[in-house]
Amino acid sequence: MFETRDGKIDSTAGRHTLAEILSQPQCWKDSLTTLHESGQLAEIARRFGNTVEWLFVGCGSSYYISLVAAASWTAITGQRARAVPASEILLYSELTLAASDKVVAVLISRSGKTSEVVRAAEFFRSRKIATIAISCAPQQPLEHAASTAIILSQADEQSMAMTRSFTSMLLAVQSLAATVAGKTEILEALRQLPAAAERSFSGVPERLEHFVARHRFEDYVCLGQGPFYGLAFEAVLKLTEMSCSYGQAFHTLEFRHGPKSIVAPETLVIFLLSEASYQAEIEVLEEIKGLNATTVAISSKAEPRARAAADLFIEFPFDLPEIVRATAYIFVPQLIALYTGLKKGLNPDAPRNLSRVVMLDDESIPQPAVL
């Protein structure tokens, strides 16, 4: 527990966010079970399985889901996939849709009411482009505007920042990809993930709370390659939302090319270490630690070099494909963001200047550009 700036203990701040972060393994299990038992994924795969290109669209955290979803989709299915912010669809449709053939757009919004995403769905409908809505709220405008919808009601949240809704909607996309591709081994890995995560998450919140209590940082950076790149952006967004801290995300190896100039002992650099490019990323971790940054490394294996170069090392030893395992890594920065906000005397359940849903009046919503 952290004291606020006036020295008083606030026992209620962040309680919803913490509960929602910790509930993720059970939420994943419930959401994926409901999806598979409904037969909905198989029906969507039957309707859209021959699609040439998949376009993932969202705003904020939902756009970062889209980044990871696009990487996951290509990795699992071999099909072309891209992530685009909803505003780009509306303002630069001639760029985002150029040369697209047999495209399906997947529109992601926790609330199903995000103005730009709903308007993008309407734009796609006007162009006779099929759409799949992914949301946590039934009977909302996005569901009505889309060709079909996946609704994960169990994953919705009371708090403002997306945590379990982010991971649950991402796993739903991966499950759909595996269904489209007929990858039964990925579907089985997704079924195993909740139990594996529950075991590995044990004790991690306490370690992270202690770590945050002992340090004070001025800058935050999260690094990741491949599917971890979108997760890195989501990590720093959680820090920004929950703790009013400034953070940046980069491809791990890109951090060397200029951004490392900010590194100092008061810089926290979080590494989401991949399996595919592990050796190259370890070299960056060692280099950044040599510049006196404070480092957190999250990995699937407790390799000595990584442990030696990390001030805090979190191991998630899931014997699962990396594309499935990656989603669980966001658990660590979610908690760092929460505890950092509490340390600053803030309430992560209700970040300042933010609303749970961005809804604009009609005049404020960008109008789709004419091709």
pLDDT over 60 at 7, yes or no: no
**Confidence at residue 371, expressed as pLDDT on a 0 to 100 scale:** 45
Domains 16-196 and 203-343 share a fold: yes
Q: In the structure encoding, which two tokens stand for residue 370, read together? A: 């004419």
**Confidence at residue 9, expressed as pLDDT on a 0 to 100 scale:** 47
pLDDT over 90 for what percent of the chain? 84
DSSP structure string for 294-350: EEEEEESS--HHHHHH-SEEEE----S-HHHHGGGGGHHHHHHHHHHHHHTT--TTS
pLDDT over 60 at 123, yes or no: yes
**Confidence at residue 362, expressed as pLDDT on a 0 to 100 scale:** 64
- Give the model confidence (pLDDT) of 234-270 as tens digits: 999 999 999 999 999 999 999 999 999 999 999 999 9
What is the spatial distance between Cα 225 and Cα 297, in angstroms, rounded to a whole number? 14
pLDDT over 70 for what percent of the chain? 91
Q: Residue 108: which H helix or E strand, with range?
A: strand 103-108
- Give the model confidence (pLDDT) of 78-93 as tens digits: 999 999 999 999 999 8
Return the amino acid letter for 196. A
**Confidence at residue 289, expressed as pLDDT on a 0 to 100 scale:** 96
> pLDDT confidence of 353, banded at 50, 70, 90?
low
What is the spatial distance between Cα 262 and Cα 238, in angstroms, rounded to a whole number? 20
**pTM listed for this prediction:** 0.92
pLDDT over 90 at 116, yes or no: yes
Return the amino acid letter for 162. M
Q: Where are the domains of the chain?
A: 16-196, 203-343
**Confidence at residue 350, expressed as pLDDT on a 0 to 100 scale:** 83
> pLDDT confidence of 326, banded at 50, 70, 90?
very high
Q: Are 306 and 285 in contact (CB under 8 A)?
A: yes
**Confidence at residue 196, expressed as pLDDT on a 0 to 100 scale:** 96
Query: How high does pLDDT run on average in the chain?
Result: 91
- Give the model confidence (pLDDT) of 186-223 as tens digits: 999 999 999 999 999 999 999 999 999 999 999 999 99
Q: Is 361 left (phi over 0), alpha (psi -120 to 50) or beta?
A: beta
**Confidence at residue 97, expressed as pLDDT on a 0 to 100 scale:** 83
CATH 3.40.50.10490 holds for 16-196? yes
CATH 3.30.420.10 holds for 203-343? no
**Confidence at residue 85, expressed as pLDDT on a 0 to 100 scale:** 97
Q: Measure the CA angle with vertex 152, ends 151 and 155; round to 5°.
A: 150
Q: Are 318 and 196 in contact (CB under 8 A)?
A: yes
> pLDDT confidence of 351, banded at 50, 70, 90?
confident
φ/ψ of residue 187, rounded to 5: -60, -40
pLDDT over 60 at 365, yes or no: no
- Give the model confidence (pLDDT) of 279-291 as tens digits: 999 999 999 999 9
**Confidence at residue 78, expressed as pLDDT on a 0 to 100 scale:** 95
Of residues 265 and 362, more confidence is placed in 265
